[in-house]
A and B are shown apart, each in its own frame.
Chain A
Amino acid sequence: MTALVLIETEQGTVRQASRSAISAASRFGDVDVILFGDNAENAAKLANVRKVLHVTNLPHLLAEPAAALLATLAENYTHIVSAVSANSKNILPRLAGLLDVQPLTDVIEIKNDDTFVRPIYAGNALATVQSSDRIKVLTVRGSSFDPVAAEGGNAPVETLGAPGGYDKSHFVKVEFSHSDRPELEVARVIISGGKGVKDAGNFQKLLEPIADKLNAAIGASRAAVDAGFAPNEMQVGQTGKVVAPELYIAVGLSGALQHLAGIKDSRVIVAINIDPDAPIFKVADYGIVGDLFDILPALEKAL
């Protein structure tokens, strides 16, 4: 049994979620990793990696050539794995289509080589499924597996070229929202705002100082994103990011099913809401009923 893990880097370093995917894939046997784009040196240092396949001619990870390349490599492997990310969600199901296998997405537990647990219905049920496909194509939730060490390994790097001739899709541009804060998926503490925060200015004025003190990431509910208080990539929930921090502070958000799907594996949940009947209090370890415009400045002072 040998697994191939598609890994991703962020500002040159391998993403923590990718290191979690390597540890998940290690249960199947040897692990090779494949990296598109930037520096392979850091990938070579990862623990538990047999070989690094480095693809240098596809800087923008378009699904069509990436999946085609993976399909040419796939027959050497029993499992093709990646952490859940926008890229892996785009590429791996396409690969599965090329291989004619049914992909397994958002896996949270590996029972054995062919049996996996994945949440369905916005995390309201857990399905254990057994795959009969010859090659298992799966995305795994980073927060569900401990990452392998970023240093200590010494894997050989092999350079590969992606196939040419894919002229039906072109990268135009990407606009990143820049932030010095930790990534939502790996942050130890997250403070999230909902519609109760009332406007984008309040996100800055009230949530940022607390996030600064706690080295926290800032998240948002769908309602807050739709209302334009926060950018899309800050959305936490079924259709946004699924997080599992040590501490999740939910501010002025009611706790709809779709939001709870994204936070229920947090270790400690704190809810600050003016409505004592808000569903968020049903899952919060600690709640304060009151006006967030009074509570947040007081919280900042108390930290």
Chain B
Amino acid sequence: MKVLVPVKRVVDYNIKPRVAADGRGVETQGVKMSMNPFDEIALEEAIRLREKGHASSVVVVSIGPQAAQDTLRTAMAMGADQAILVRTDAALEPLAVANLLKVIVERENPGLVSMGKQAIDDDMNATGQILAAKLGWPQATFASQVKIHDGKAEVSREVDGGIEVVNVSLPAVITADLRLNEPRYASLPNIMKARKKPLETLDAESLGVDLTPRLKVVNVSEPPERQAGVIVETVDELVHKLKTEAKVL
């Protein structure tokens, strides 16, 4: 079976984002971009499934600007076999992304879509679920463990208050939580090899999908800033202040 892994290029998770002066979004010009951390985990899981013999190949797909091909090369350096860039400069919502991914799924015919549970820029946590709905496939979200057997995936899911285990028939969409695995680093020889792996580019507009946003961004603003308070010297002083000044005890 082939595993399809959608990956997103986002502002690096260590960067403190700055709201753009025009209030239309967050500054991304000249800011370090990286693969969304949840997608790295989803990709690592796909590569492990191939290494265990459950998958025959791993195809990564990214939807975005030309620069997203760097993210795809990184993915191939980690171990993906081939890549597809669905090129667009438009800012897409999860609904449009899921509709584009559906086209790619129908083309590539994977037995599993392994993807991150959320992107750390829009924090939507929706694309995998929407894609599963559009395909009529079962879903296993927030996965912390995946076991494949007999055409099924047994997935441990992180739920409120504990861990839930579900069994889904393949093909399915699985979204990765942080605890699923620890992604590997790409070694230099593998980075060199990745340059020769196939990367196909498609034009998003040519895939017959309506990309019109349903959400209009009215504005993006800084959240109210929290100010640093005071440093106290002793525990007694702390407790006194919490009782009399903050009145929380």
The answer to whether the Cβ of B150 comes within 8 Å of any Cβ in the partner chain is no
The answer to whether the Cβ of A130 comes within 8 Å of any Cβ in the partner chain is yes
Q: Are A86 and B158 interface neighbours, CB within 8 A?
A: yes
Chain B interface size, as a band, is 35 or more
Q: Are A102 and B93 interface neighbours, CB within 8 A?
A: yes
Q: Are A286 and B229 interface neighbours, CB within 8 A?
A: yes
B79-112 interface (Cβ within 8 A of A): 93-95, 98
Residues of A within 8 A of B144 (CB): 232
Q: Are B138 and A299 interface neighbours, CB within 8 A?
A: no
Q: Are B216 and A172 interface neighbours, CB within 8 A?
A: no
Residues of A within 8 A of B158 (CB): 86, 232-233
Q: How far is the CB of A48 from chain B (nearest CB, A)?
A: 24
Q: Are A222 and B178 interface neighbours, CB within 8 A?
A: yes
Q: Are A132 and B232 interface neighbours, CB within 8 A?
A: no
**A287-B235 contact, Cβ under 8 Å, with A63-B129, A97-B129, A127-B217:** no
5 residue pairs bridging A and B, Cβ less than 8 Å apart: A90-B139, A94-B133, A257-B13, A257-B16, A286-B238
Q: How far is the CB of B31 from chain A (nearest CB, A)?
A: 11
Binds A, one of B65-73, B164-172, B187-195: B164-172
* Nearest opposing residue in chain A for B169, CB measure: A168
Q: Are B126 and A121 interface neighbours, CB within 8 A?
A: no
The answer to whether the Cβ of B159 comes within 8 Å of any Cβ in the partner chain is yes
**Number of residue pairs spanning A and B whose beta carbons lie under 8 angstroms apart:** 251
Q: Are A288 and B235 interface neighbours, CB within 8 A?
A: yes
CA distance A175 to B228 in the complex (A): 40
Name the one of B215, B222, B234 contacting A125, with C-beta atoms under 8 angstroms. Answer: B222
Q: Are A124 and B169 interface neighbours, CB within 8 A?
A: no
The answer to whether the Cβ of A189 comes within 8 Å of any Cβ in the partner chain is yes
Q: Are A120 and B26 interface neighbours, CB within 8 A?
A: yes
Binds A, one of B1-9, B51-59, B200-208, B240-248: B240-248
**A303-B222 contact, Cβ under 8 Å, with A169-B138, A247-B242:** no
Measuring CB to CB, which residues of chain A are less than 8 angstroms from any residue of chain B?
60, 62-64, 67, 85-87, 89-98, 100-106, 115, 118-133, 167-177, 189, 214, 222, 226, 231-233, 238-239, 246-247, 257-258, 264, 267-270, 276, 281-289, 295, 298-299, 302-303
Q: Are B219 and A128 interface neighbours, CB within 8 A?
A: yes
CA distance A247 to B138 in the complex (A): 41
Q: Are B228 and A97 interface neighbours, CB within 8 A?
A: no
Name the one of A92, A121, A175 contacting B120, with C-beta atoms under 8 angstroms. Answer: A121
Residues of A within 8 A of B234 (CB): 288
CA distance A97 to B160 in the complex (A): 23
Q: Are B166 and A169 interface neighbours, CB within 8 A?
A: yes
Interface string of B137-175 (1 = CB under 8 A from A): 111111010000000001001111111111111001000
Residues of B within 8 A of A298 (CB): 235
Q: Are A102 and B164 interface neighbours, CB within 8 A?
A: no
Q: How far is the CB of B150 from chain A (nearest CB, A)?
A: 13
Q: Are B168 and A96 interface neighbours, CB within 8 A?
A: no
Other than A105-B123, A288-B235, give 9 A-B pairs with Cβ distance below 8 A: A64-B138, A93-B129, A97-B133, A105-B124, A127-B220, A169-B166, A169-B172, A170-B167, A288-B232
Cβ-closest 10 pairs across A and B: A97-B133, A97-B130, A93-B129, A285-B229, A93-B126, A102-B214, A176-B162, A172-B165, A86-B159, A169-B138
The answer to whether the Cβ of B21 comes within 8 Å of any Cβ in the partner chain is no
**A93-B239 contact, Cβ under 8 Å, with A168-B169, A232-B144:** no
CA distance A208 to B94 in the complex (A): 41
Name the one of B168, B223, B231, B242 contacting A287, with C-beta atoms under 8 angstroms. Answer: B231
CA distance A267 to B215 in the complex (A): 31
Q: How far is the CB of A160 from chain B (nearest CB, A)?
A: 20
Q: Are B16 and A124 interface neighbours, CB within 8 A?
A: yes
Name the one of B94, B133, B223, B238 contacting A102, with C-beta atoms under 8 angstroms. Answer: B94
Q: Are B216 and A129 interface neighbours, CB within 8 A?
A: yes
Name the one of B177, B179, B215 contacting A129, with C-beta atoms under 8 angstroms. Answer: B215
Residues of A within 8 A of B141 (CB): 63, 89-90
CA distance A97 to B215 in the complex (A): 15
The answer to whether the Cβ of B33 comes within 8 Å of any Cβ in the partner chain is no
Residues of A within 8 A of B22 (CB): none
Name the one of B123, B228, B236 contacting A121, with C-beta atoms under 8 angstroms. Answer: B123
Residues of A within 8 A of B169 (CB): 167-169
